[in-house]
């Protein structure tokens, strides 16, 4: 039996829908099911709206301001904290998705 590496260039058409699913699933699922995730996500979005320099930093643009006050620094600290929490939630969802997909594949090949 020949091993097929689906990450080879010739399989990019197959891989693209798979990758989109992986990229979008955690956020969509958590927005539906987790009020804590929704709350943290909204707080982070509020920081984007209220502190333009954070958007500049995350998009690799030079911020317009020359100096920052305590409120700006606290907002940036909160942004990092919220981003870390969001990332942890989404990584856990990816882990659960991987386990689910693995179990499905094991059932398909009649191991389970």
Contacts of 91 (CB under 8 A, 6+ apart): 26
Residues in the chain: 112
Four-CA torsion 33, 35, 38, 43, nearest 10 degrees: -170
Distance CA 24, CA 16 (A): 12
What integer pLDDT is reported at residue 22 of this predicted model? Answer: 78
**Mean pLDDT of the residues in the chain:** 88
Which of helix, strand or coil describes residue 33? helix
For the residues 78-103, what does the mean pLDDT come to?
Answer: 93
DSSP 110: T
- Contact by Cβ (8 Å): 27, 87: no
Helices and strands (DSSP H and E) totals, the chain: 4, 0
Q: What is the pLDDT of residues 17-42, one digit of tens each?
A: 667 777 888 999 999 999 999 999 99
Distance CA 55, CA 86 (A): 17
What integer pLDDT is reported at residue 1 of this predicted model? Answer: 62
């Amino acid at each position: 039996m020949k091993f097929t590496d689906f990450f080879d260039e010739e399989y990019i058409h197959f891989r693209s829908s798979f990758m989109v699913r992986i990229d979008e699933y955690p956020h969509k699922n958590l927005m539906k099911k987790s009020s804590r995730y929704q709350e943290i996500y909204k707080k982070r979005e509020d920081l984007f709206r209220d502190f333009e320099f954070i958007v500049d930093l995350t998009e690799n643009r030079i911020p317009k301001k020359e100096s920052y006050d305590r409120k700006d620094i606290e907002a940036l600290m909160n942004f990092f904290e919220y981003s870390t929490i969001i990332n942890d939630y989404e990584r856990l969802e990816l882990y659960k998705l991987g386990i689910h997909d693995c179990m499905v594949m094991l059932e398909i090949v009649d191991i389970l």
